[in-house]
């Protein structure tokens, strides 16, 4: 068994291994997705470790650089992704070994820390003391059931007592529809836009000042992340005041258990106008109604200003055991001046857009 650095020519084989290893996210298992993620990333090229047995690739752990604002600095972290081991090689500590080797590779690359958003298969492995990442936070998931929300699929999925669930979620949808959308003052416009221009850069400059820790969302990053994404087609909803963008929201539609869900992926608002959070949620609701969606879904930390808008707009926090996607941000720092930020989740701004699977 040999572990060697990842090379671009591995993509085809790794893509096949990925199709074998994972049970979801098949739509992303395409060569243009690898190219977008590892080559086109504005923060720099991706890398990783490949395990080879004979001349067969049997394991992989990749990482891509990601810029983050921490305190007054912009530093580069490395996001680990796609840890996978060939089914016939599992249970022999190969995943652990790949993670240890990749940590060393990341540290040598000069990144200040490594982080990941592991699924249930790799959480224990990556947070084991042998590997060393630890959990910083686990955001809450919020759902807003819309008019056409159906609970029948949820009953099947979670084997809940049908009548109780029918009554419960029926009440939720009804209750949720009682929340009045916020008043949007004259002079504020809500629109969907096709491009990302300098107004987004301006918003990033202002908004980033207000958040002690957040991944960079400048115009260059947003174009790569949302316009150039080879698989998902995001919609960009904006609120503007006198021609100036005061908030944006990236949304897209996905199927979940037979329901059409609008997923709120990323957003940013002018910190001087926190009410723009509610205006964005109203724009999302208009979009979802026009598209006939069943529900809207989002994830956020309780300390983020949008959490207040979720409550006011009839979003319900999903109990942990029913969360369709459980997210844990795990981190290993190589720069002890950053540790105090990793010890205080309340300082973080985070959205699903910061993950690699949405």
DSSP reduced 3-state for 346: helix
Residue bearing tokens 């949808």: 173
For the four alpha carbons of 229, 230, 232 and 236, in that order, the dihedral sign comes to: positive
Residue (of 281, 317, 319, 287) closest to 302 by Cα position: 317
Q: What is the DSSP letter of 286?
A: H
Which parts of 74-103 interact with ligand COA (CB under 6 A)?
83-85, 90-96
Half-sphere exposure of 147 (CA within 13 A, CB side): 7
**Helices 31-38 & 11-21 angle (0-180, nearest 10):** 110
57 interacts with ligand COA by CB under 6 A:
no
Query: Count residues contacting ligand COA (CB under 6 A)?
Result: 18
- Pattern of binders to ligand COA over 16-35, x per CB under 6 A? -----xx-------------
265 interacts with ligand COA by CB under 6 A:
no
Kindly tell me which of 48 and 95 has the beta carbon lying closer to ligand COA. 95
125 interacts with ligand COA by CB under 6 A:
yes
When CB distances to ligand COA are compared, the closest residue is: 95
Which residues are CB-contacts of 255 (< 8 A; sequence separation ≥ 6)?
A: 261
Q: What is the largest CA-CA distance in the chain?
A: 68
Kindly tell me which of 125 and 331 has the beta carbon lying closer to ligand COA. 125
CB of 147 to ligand COA, least distance (A): 36
Q: What is the DSSP letter of 355?
A: S
Which parts of 178-207 interact with ligand COA (CB under 6 A)?
none
Where do runs of H (alpha helix) occur along the chain? Answer: 11-21, 31-38, 94-108, 123-127, 152-158, 162-178, 198-210, 219-222, 276-291, 305-312, 339-342
In this chain, which stretch among 120-128, 229-237, 287-295, 313-321 interacts with ligand COA, using CB under 6 A? 120-128
Kindly tell me which of 309 and 325 has the beta carbon lying closer to ligand COA. 325
CB of 256 to ligand COA, least distance (A): 19
Beta partners for 3? 51
Kindly tell me which of 112 and 326 has the beta carbon lying closer to ligand COA. 326
CB of 347 to ligand COA, least distance (A): 25
In this chain, which stretch among 115-123, 245-253, 320-328, 347-355 interacts with ligand COA, using CB under 6 A? 115-123
CB of 249 to ligand COA, least distance (A): 27
Beta partners for 144? 296
Query: What is the contact surface with ligand COA in residues (CB under 6 A)?
Result: 21-22, 83-85, 90-96, 118-119, 121-122, 124-125
């Amino acid at each position: 068994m040999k572990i060697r650095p990842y090379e671009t020519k591995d993509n085809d084989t790794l893509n096949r291994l990925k199709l074998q290893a994972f049970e979801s996210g098949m739509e992303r298992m395409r060569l243009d997705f690898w190219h977008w993620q590892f080559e086109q990333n504005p923060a720099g090229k991706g890398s990783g470790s490949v395990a080879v047995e004979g001349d067969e690739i049997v394991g992989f752990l990749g990482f891509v650089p990601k810029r983050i604002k921490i305190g007054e600095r912009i530093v580069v972290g490395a996001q680990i992704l796609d840890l996978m081991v060939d089914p016939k090689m599992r249970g022999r500590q190969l995943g652990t070994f790949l993670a240890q080797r990749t940590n060393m590779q990341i540290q040598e690359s000069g990144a200040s820390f490594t982080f990941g958003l592991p699924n249930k298969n790799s959480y224990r492995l990556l947070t084991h003391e042998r590997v060393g990442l630890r959990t910083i936070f686990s955001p809450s998931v919020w759902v807003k059931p819309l008019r056409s929300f159906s609970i029948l699929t949820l009953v099947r999925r979670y084997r809940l007592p049908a009548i109780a669930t029918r009554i419960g979620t029926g009440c939720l949808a009804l209750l949720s529809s009682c929340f009045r959308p916020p008043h949007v003052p004259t002079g504020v416009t809500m629109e969907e836009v096709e491009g990302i221009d300098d107004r987004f850069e301006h918003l990033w400059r202002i908004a980033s000042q207000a958040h002690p820790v957040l991944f960079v969302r400048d115009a260059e990053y947003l174009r790569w992340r949302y316009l150039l994404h080879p698989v998902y087609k995001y919609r960009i909803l904006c609120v503007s005041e006198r021609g100036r963008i005061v908030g944006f929201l990236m949304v897209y539609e996905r199927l979940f258990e037979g329901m059409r869900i609008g997923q709120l992926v990323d957003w940013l608002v002018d910190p001087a106008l926190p009410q723009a959070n509610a205006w964005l949620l109203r724009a999302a609701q208009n979009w979802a109604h026009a598209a006939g969606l069943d529900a809207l879904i989002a994830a956020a930390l309780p300390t983020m200003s949008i959490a207040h808008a979720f409550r006011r707009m009839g979003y319900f926090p999903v109990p942990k055991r029913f969360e369709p996607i459980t997210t844990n941000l795990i981190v290993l720092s190589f720069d002890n001046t950053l540790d105090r930020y990793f010890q205080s989740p309340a300082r973080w701004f985070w959205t699903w857009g910061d993950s690699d699977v949405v």
